[in-house]
Structure 1
């Protein structure tokens, strides 16, 4: 059987370049199209001839992306970017009849997907978060609970995604939780494929000793309501420990003002942009990682920290509950539960032997759960679809 040729379209980098590297090595990559400029992509170790960098809209958005005063302008630029990526991808597909599979990040691939279907080829719509309407509703509920104004997802994105869901041959999602947020009519076309991890970048470094004096807690995500940072801060405040430290690694968002007075630098370490080498060092310093997301598809950071031997505390809505339970590398808690987070902090601090056990479990489980394994499963899925 001839190996399938793949084309991928993504708004940024995300996990798509990890996957594309594997596909390139197997000589199955036709092109990856990204909404990032080349200078943001050249370190991804993919030959430039396989990368179509369309970053002009991202460059224009960069000064305003986290400022709600420019939300309308940001939306317009983002929509133009999605349409541009789609148009360019469709043209590439038109010129290259040997392309067998198109993986389009949701919002970026409607026209391209329809072009693939015209050619009797496979259109995969990849949705890494929950169904866009579920996402919109649960986030609106959370902002209302906090007394904050919620900026609803623009109808263009909702209508666009729903059309992609409908037209695609396969809807690719990273977790059963994401699948559960879709309507019944889509269940048969939804395929769940758990993300991989780069174990060369994220690993337990035994030269880095975790502190016996301090209890170090890691939050690794955007500083946002969606990721549940406010629940981490409240639980940390209630955690009675004389030498507790909270390491916050992540970019500011439009929620910056909400968090401004909640983050104290006395026993909190705030980091800016960090490359994977230094990030792995920080993970190795910490005793536990917490991500109490309100809504998430499957945060890849959960796999990264577990691979580096840091036990995890995550909500059922992070999409990673099956991974955490199967690997026994941490705990799955309810959303919006400060008490459950606090209980886990106390228990793990008092039971360091449990921390060691959870740490080893995560490392061992993820040894074979890399991006090559991910692609092999994807390729098998595609071949099975094609046969049927």
Structure 2
């Protein structure tokens, strides 16, 4: 099967492309990732990568020099169009064309008009944009911020792309179910969990220390629900407690109108051994997200034997069982987080059992090669003539 894959950055797209190449299915990777980045190289796929990053580099310059948002946003949209128009040449020769969000909208339109047999698959890494917007707009307003809430700049185009694509590629059941909630037929939805990179897995259950240390790793953004975790930590009764928050701050953090309790440390972004040390020294890992497709940090936490406390909206429920490796609670609420934190702090035996389960689960997490194997199996079913006709009829 020949697959053209269009993606704007490195992120998970590089390992996805590498796994497609190893499996013998990558026809072309159309990349918008800046060639000037020290991480731009991808020798493992040889000449199967083609770069179209001119406008993306202009966009990056706008961000660096703090050009007003309207212009920066407009240039970002142009960079997506640059990728889109460049993709047609390769997508037209492929069995399947997979593209990130709106980066293949125009190409899909053109292929449709021409009656092409290419299966057009839109990759959505978060929940349905309407579904996510409803969650985030409510959260934004509840923060009591004076600024106006803005939808994501590609909001309308994503809705159009959903409709014109043959299928939507979802990284988790949470994302998939959000589309079903919005009326999508299950037949148009592919679910393939992201691959987890090879990670160092601890060789023993995490010991229970005197200090109960909670760890969060990720952006400090209101969509992450950190304010609920901080309120839960404030309620936690323990003689020695700490909350370590690792990650960069964004424009709206969700912490603007709250008092950060004692025992909380913001480290900023960490990498390498500095980040690993935080995992090694933590007692539990918390991810209180309100909306997220599939956060790979959950796999990292499990690999260090960390019991996890996550919400139903992190994608983690695909491989984490409530009460086994940790707890899964509803998003946007303080009390469930507080109750689970208290139980984990009080019950040392439970914490060790969860640590052992976390290590076991970490060893079973699928690689990118397994993810591609599952993807190809689903695509082959869809590219069968009869099945493809059924999908096309769903779009009429």
TM-score by length of 1: 0.87
- The alignment's C-alpha RMSD in Å is 2.9
Q: In the alignment, which residue of structure 2 is the partner of 1:102? A: 97
Runs of 5+ unmatched residues, structure 1 = none
Q: In the alignment, which residue of structure 2 is the partner of 1:70? A: 68
Partners in 2 of 1:280 and 1:220 — Cα distance? 11
Q: CA deviation at 1:125?
A: 0.7
State the Cα deviation string for residues 138-173 of structure 1 (Å, max 9, x = none): 21111111112343225x622211222112121111
Q: In the alignment, which residue of structure 2 is the partner of 1:8? A: 5
Give the secondary-structure state (helix, strand or coil) at the position aligned to 1:184.
coil
Q: 2:250 aligns with which of 250, 253, 257?
A: 253
Q: In the alignment, which residue of structure 1 is the partner of 2:391? A: none
Q: 1:175 aligns with which of 169, 172, 183?
A: 172
Q: In the alignment, which residue of structure 2 is the partner of 1:111? A: 106
Deviating more after overlay: 322-331 vs 183-192: 322-331
Partners in 2 of 1:263 and 1:205 — Cα distance? 35
1:357 pairs with 2:353: yes
Give the secondary-structure state (helix, strand or coil) at the position aligned to 2:320.
helix
Partners in 2 of 1:304 and 1:384 — Cα distance? 33
Q: Which of structure 1's runs of 4+ aligned residues deviate more than 6 A?
A: 66-69
Task: Provide the aligned length of Structure 1 versus Structure 2.
Answer: 378
Q: In the alignment, which residue of structure 2 is the partner of 1:301? A: 297
**For the Cα contact (< 8 Å) 1:9–1:33, is it kept in 2?**
yes
Runs of 5+ unmatched residues, structure 2 = 388-396
State the Cα deviation string for residues 98-122 of structure 1 (Å, max 9, x = none): x222111112111233455543011
Q: In the alignment, which residue of structure 1 is the partner of 2:390? A: none
In structure 2, relative to structure 1, the CA distance for the partners of 1:151 and 1:56 (3 Å cut) is: farther
Give the secondary-structure state (helix, strand or coil) at the position aligned to 1:179.
helix
TM-score by length of 2: 0.85
Partners in 1 of 2:22 and 2:274 — Cα distance? 27
**For the Cα contact (< 8 Å) 2:238–2:345, is it kept in 1?**
no
Partners in 2 of 1:218 and 1:177 — Cα distance? 23
**For the Cα contact (< 8 Å) 2:101–2:124, is it kept in 1?**
yes
Q: CA deviation at 1:357?
A: 2.0
1:30-49 mapped onto 2 (5 Å cutoff): 30-38=27-35, 39-42=37-40, 46-47=44-45, 49=47
In structure 2, relative to structure 1, the CA distance for the partners of 1:57 and 1:249 (3 Å cut) is: farther
In structure 2, relative to structure 1, the CA distance for the partners of 1:24 and 1:254 (3 Å cut) is: same
